[in-house]
A = this chain, B = another copy of it.
Amino acid sequence: MLKFSVHHKDGTARTGTLSTAHGEIQTPVFMPVGTAGTVKGMMPESVKATGAQIILGNTYHLMLRPGAERVAKLGGLHKFMNWPGPILTDSGGFQVMSLSKLRKITEKGVTFQSHLDGATVELTPERSIEIQHLLDATITMMFDECTPFPATHEEAKASMELSMRWGERSKKAFQSREGYGIFGIVQGSTYRDLREASANALKGTGFDGYAIGGLAVGEGQELMFSTLDYTTPCLPEDRPRYLMGVGTPLDIIGAVKRGVDMFDCVIPTRAGRNARGYTTGGEVNLRNARHAEDTRPLQEGCACPACADFSRAYLHHLFKAEEMLGPMLLTWHNLQFYQDLMRIIRAAIAEKNLAACEEAFRACWDEGDIPEL
């Protein structure tokens, strides 16, 4: 059971507080991804210092290594990775599709080969929920099939209906406790009738929050937004909504406008490891030679150490020399940028000013035409 209070509304956008056993979360919130029990290249206190309130863990990765029973034996994921705050774990469904080979999907669940050692592994709704319980996830995700994109209506319908049955089994397997919760996942590809049917099925089962899955899989921002336009109105007002795997800053602002409260994405961390820094002026590739003698910080006014303590010239040098500190600093910066973005969004909603905030941001940061700074 998770308590969720909505504080301010600006159109469909809202701010709120999600109260959990591991702390309160101010929404809209961005959750950094800590796939294998670590946000890559970051000390946990550094993740916290950026303003992160909750992080993600991955059932698929952790069940294969070090193993869910082992994490439980070691005191749970919070203790293991020294992150006492809230943790949301995905159910493994998405990674089974994207990372493993030789998958076999039946009504019971999925059998697949581990991408690590080729071992045959079975994942069912019951086992996924058990793993997330062993990890001590604050927020557990129902086990679903991530519908490939594109999919015909028939394929999307069959896939969604299977996920809905798995959702019921997930809910049944979940051990309800105060401050812990389980989220349902809306599927149905980009078909309105399927999304509506999926949302209704989940509401019938009853979850602590509702995720929107199967987006950010190549359909593009326009189709993603139009899907949200008819999907979020089908979800309960008094429960948090989570758009999985999204996205760029303008994806996030657009989804918040459409009523989404929670986000996760590897973009800031992955881009950081690859020398791409986020600024209010656009994306900056620090490998570019034009930074070699640039004494300016990556982002003027940013509180992260990459900007407070170093020049663009130094960051450029670190990436040219393939020094670990380059990915470390730029990951930190990008996470800071995303957390600052969420703070700005929350403040704008409180002031009923989100549209102006979006316009201001879009004016200097249009992803369709990012200047190479």
- Enumerate chain A interface residues (CB-CB to B < 8 A): 36-38, 40-45, 61, 65-66, 70, 73-75, 80-82, 292-293, 295, 305, 309-311, 313-314, 317-318, 320-321, 323-325, 327-328
Contact = CB atoms under 8 A, between A and B. Distances in A.
30 contacts: A36-B321, A36-B323, A37-B314, A37-B317, A37-B323, A38-B325, A41-B324, A41-B325, A41-B328, A42-B325, A43-B305, A65-B317, A65-B320, A66-B292, A66-B313, A66-B320, A70-B293, A70-B313, A73-B293, A74-B293, A74-B295, A80-B311, A80-B313, A80-B314, A82-B309, A82-B310, A82-B314, A324-B324, A324-B328, A328-B328
A321 B70 contact: no
A43 B325 contact: yes
A45 B295 CA distance: 20
A354 to B, nearest CB: 36
Contacts of A45: 305
Contacts of A40: 323-325
* Number of copies of this kind of chain in the complex: 2
A318 B37 CA distance: 8
Contacts of A65: 317, 320-321
Given A45-B305, A65-B317, 5 more contacts: A40-B325, A43-B305, A43-B328, A80-B311, A324-B327
Contacts of A61: 321
A317 B42 contact: no
A327 B323 CA distance: 12
B38 A74 contact: no
A206 to B, nearest CB: 36
Pick the most buried of A42, A66, A318: most chain B CB atoms within 10 A of its CB: A66
A70 to B, nearest CB: 6
Contact of A81 (B74, B314, B320): B314
A291 B161 CA distance: 44
